[in-house]
Amino acid sequence: MTTAADLTSQPRTGRKSNFRPDVQGLRAIAVLLVVLYHAGVGALSGGFAGVDVFFVISGFLITTHLLESLEAEGRISFGRFYAKRARRILPASLLVAALTVVAAWLWMPPLLMSEVAEGAVATALYLPNILFAIDGTNYLAETSPSVFQHYWSLGIEEQFYLFWPALLALGFWLCRRSERRLLWVAAALTLASFLLCVVGMGISQPWTFFSLPTRAWELGAGALTAFLLRTGAAWLRRPATGLLSWIGVAALAVTALLYDAATPFPGYTAALPVLATVLLIVGGAAPGSLHANRVLSLRPFQFFGAISYSLYLVHWPLQVIPQVAVGEDDPLPLWASLLLAAVAVPLAWLLFRFVERPVIGWHVLRARTPLLTGMAAAAASLSLIATAGAVHVGAAQRDTATDRTAEEVGDLTQDPAGTAFVPANLQPSLDEADSDNPSIYDDGCHRSQGSTDASGCQVGDDPDAPLVFLFGDSHAASWYPALAELAEQGRIRLDTNTKSSCPSADLPLLLEGVEYTECAQWRAGVLERIGQEQPDLVLLANYGASEPELEGETDDFAARWQSGMESTIEAIDGPEVAVLADVPHDPETPAVCLSDELENAGECATPISSAFDPRIVRAERAAAEATGADYLDLTPYLCNDETCPVIIGDLLVYRDGHHLTATFSTKLAPPLWEELRPVLK
């Protein structure tokens, strides 16, 4: 992301400054779109495209500087270039990152500190975008985002700056110092990146969103704009060309108002904000007064344009940390989010005034060898890593339980009261909660998203015991420990058929924006095997409250869910079928909440009124009733009349917001058998 000073250059040829107030104003529009979008202004549902505007501006400005260097000197001074980029980008970036780590330590639950530290280290290594791509982050729909998630765009730009000067220098040499030929090389690279972006959307949306190869075309579009304006073409000097800037304004408005989280992005849809930015830059360079420059040059636009980099850095942690502090299940009202966005403005000005702008011209670095700047940048990055490490270690040393113990659970009873504190004998502990998975995750019996293996896994040796097929997604897998316990007791033989993000309901699904064909193939394979083996019972369990991403119309999800459940049940010919009611859903991970509420665990319980999606409950009951299937509901063992406790006796109920711990699931074997026994007779 370019800084304010990037809008001014003083070429060695002695030409006047090429500062463009209209580009500065465009930066203001970009940052305000992003800030207001993150503050929850619904009308600006496409405000996330402000980052794409920044990409184009960055590509334009950086390429302009590099081409001027090639023209004036015939080469690029890489040391000087990288030192200049480091002085402009890193001081504000790394300072905000370090302060974010400290703020997270003060106000966020201790159990999140490992995630915070991981994000800080990735930022210090200039690889945050790669981290989020590996994690499969959905930027447009993430409910519990990282405090460093906004650094992904800086990662893209920093990586672009690493490669682009070398590519231009090499191309300039291969093209025999012809800028026109170099233009065609840049155009080919930009086109290749765009095609990779479009194709990548059909492979992995997170990698397409966060990786440099699939986003470089946006910076490349800015680079091509720089080449274009340097050609001096006659049509560029016509006053009517200024009208292009107004077309760009209109295209940006369409993007901001009509795009939303359901828009496939990036891919071809990103072309609209990119093209809009190009038109604004080209139109703004035309002579006359037909362009939008007069508006973009107004003082408010110039002010926000000047602080845009700092504002982008500070606004995101101001939104995320307070939300995490109050709890994800209690969303901040719009007025509070807007107030936080407003607070970001003076903080951004302070950062711009006392960090960003002074360090750019810091004589002690500018007057010395670029190696000194590099060493200072490395030291700053190491300092951030050290800060993150210290916070991580400190969080690990915090207490994750009280010194009191709770009564060990024997048999579960209905209407559980819940334990009011985090006991010292909690099973599993808060630190171990997220890894307390059913054994089928370790032995491969729970199929991954990419698998189509429908062979199933069997538990239980008694040939006379009834055969039960467990069929569904990861929520079905949560019931495996209870069913496996019954199988070990000889009450049933269990054939487990579970797959990540793939419900047994017959629905055309998308996964990360791509058709989830592996799910359909796996589901069909399981149904075929059910028809062949004719078990005594097929037990369906799914996570419908998540509203999986569907192909086609999704306005009435509950109706489609019911139809999909009915379709699957009707496809099962012969065996008895039962639908197992889903477990409560909490938007916040209980263990995270509990790490901050050791003496008041009740604060982390989910109100019964919000623990279930009544539309999905009605849909599943209706599907069972319409097809003659049984409906089994163990909710009375999980919830009382008011809440669904997260600790019952000495047992932690959930490993995240909606999956049972394997430890607690095993304890559900007796009540589950009471539900299954009448169905199996």
Q: 639 exposed, middle or buried (CB, 10 Å; 0-12, 13-18, 19+)?
A: buried
Distance CA 221, CA 189 (A): 10
429 belongs to a structural domain: no
Tell me, yes or no, whether 391 and 441 share the same domain: no
Q: Which helix (H) or strand (E) holds 519?
A: helix 517-533
Which CATH number do you get for residue 565?
3.40.50.1110
Average pLDDT estimate for 116-139: 90
| Mean pLDDT of the residues in the chain | 92
Paired tokens of 659? 């999956």
Lowest mean pLDDT among 34-43, 190-199, 555-564: 555-564
The last residue of a domain, from among 331, 364, 395: 395
Domain C-terminal end among 395, 427, 448: 395
Maximum Cα–Cα distance for the chain, whole Å? Answer: 93
Q: Give me the pLDDT at residue 8, please.
A: 44
Q: Which one of 367, 395, 423 terminates a domain? A: 395
Question: What is the total count of domains within the chain?
Answer: 2
pLDDT, one tens digit per residue, over 396-453 is: 888 889 999 999 998 999 999 999 999 999 999 999 999 999 999 999 999 998 899 9
Amino acid at 81: F
- Both 369 and 466 in one domain: the answer is no
In a domain, 456, yes or no: yes
Residue 122 has pLDDT above 70, yes or no: yes
State both tokens at 324.
């995490």
Shared-domain flag, residues 55 and 164:
yes
Asked if residue 480 belongs to a domain, the reply is yes
Inside any domain, residue 446: yes
- Residues 338 and 467 both lie in one domain: no
- Please give the pLDDT value at position 600: 95
pTM of the predicted protein model: 0.89
626 is in which domain, residue-wise?
Answer: 437-584+612-634+659-680
Residue 283 has phi, psi (to 5 degrees) of -65, -35
Report if residue 421 sits inside a domain. no
Residue 322: asked if its preceding bond is cis (omega within 30°), the reply is no
- Looking at the fold, whether 381 and 325 belong to one and the same domain comes out as yes
Residue 580 inside a domain? The answer is yes
> Residue 505's closest CA among 437, 560, 459, 465?
560
Pair 202, 75 in one domain: yes
Residues 387 and 483 in one domain: no
Q: Which two tokens stand for residue 263?
A: 């828009």
Q: Which residue has the tokens 């003659």?
A: 628
Q: Which residue has the higher pLDDT, 329 or 665?
A: 665
> Do 379 and 453 fall into the same domain?
no
Q: Which of 504, 583, 514 is nearest to 539 (CA)?
A: 504
Q: Is residue 127 in a domain?
A: yes
User: Cβ(284)–Cβ(291) under 8 Å?
Assistant: yes
Is the domain of 391 the same as that of 443? no
Residue 139 has pLDDT above 90, yes or no: no
Pair 361, 487 in one domain: no
Dist. CA 514–CA 549, nearest whole Å: 10
**Does 138 have pLDDT greater than 80?**
no
In a domain, 207, yes or no: yes
For residues 328 and 465, membership in a common domain is answered with no
Residues 494 and 625 in one domain: yes
